[in-house]
Amino acid sequence: MARVLLLTNTLGASAEVLPSLALLQHQVKIVPAEASVLIDVPEADILLLDARREIPAAKNLAKLLHATGTGAPVIVITTEGGLSALSAEWGIDDVILDTAGPAEVDARIRIAIGEFAAHLAENDPTSGEIRTGEVAIDENSYTARIKGRALDLTFKEFELLKFLAQHPGRVFTRAQLLQEIWGYDYFGGTRTVDVHIRRLRSKLGPEHEAIIGTVRNVGYRFTVSSATKDAQVSERI
């Protein structure tokens, strides 16, 4: 059961705006479709914006909601005739006709909430997951995947890949990588870095080894695109 905030200037129950909504078990709170509601937006899992009649005003409010950020997805309710007025400029997450049945309304609400939550998690720096290009690194479980394929990495190989992926495009010298991954108190030589890079590339496979790029006489970097080796600017040492 979701907390639904219905923004409308229509007096009465939600059934007058979206009849099917009244048949569902969601908690619905109705507030005026005005900019003043942004001053203190009630907590909600999803916002439904009534755009059946006052389309210009609804568009302005939708753009304002998108610009200010509400912490919840926004679905516009409109008529079939009003669909032609909608565009990406509105900044909404979905649209639904006021004649939609209960099953469709419920599905759209669930999908919008789910996709919004997934988007927040993907962009949350505290989520523990790093995504760069085709590489996904989970710091919590110490796992790494490339195009969904799990990589069997040692601890140092994982730390090396993670560090480079956190700074895509930036070149690091061997000394810098040695310091960041192995620490100040490591007495081994910088060739240790070369060995781990070579092993890491081997585990990435021929198709993706170019992700770890080499800048001659400088060091290594993480390249976002690994479609072809020709696209890699740097060369192997």
Question: Which tops the pLDDT comparison, 143 or 122?
Answer: 143
Residue 113 shares a structural domain with residue 224? no
Tell me the sheet residues that pair with 150: 145
Q: Which of 9-18, 37-46, 157-166 has the highest mean pLDDT?
A: 157-166
The domain spanning residue 167 has which CATH number?
1.10.10.10
- 91, 122, 153 — which closes off a domain? 122
Q: Are residues 41 and 149 in the same domain?
A: no
Rounded average pLDDT over 190-208: 91
The residue ranges of DSSP E strands in 112-233, in sequence order, are 129-132, 135-138, 143-146, 149-150, 172-173, 212-215, 219-222
| Final residue before a domain boundary, out of 69, 98, 122 | 122
58 and 147 together in one domain: no
Instruction: Name the more confident of 229 and 2.
Output: 2
Tell me, yes or no, if the pTM score tops 0.95.
no
Residue-wise pLDDT for 57-79, tens only, equals 999 999 988 887 777 899 999 99
Q: Does 237 fall in a domain?
A: no
Which domain does 165 fall in, by range? 129-231
Q: How many domains does the chain have?
A: 2
Residue 158 DSSP symbol: H
Residue 236: inside a domain, yes or no? no
Q: What is the percentage of the chain residues whose pLDDT exceeds 90?
A: 48
In CATH, what number is assigned to the domain containing residue 108?
3.40.50.2300
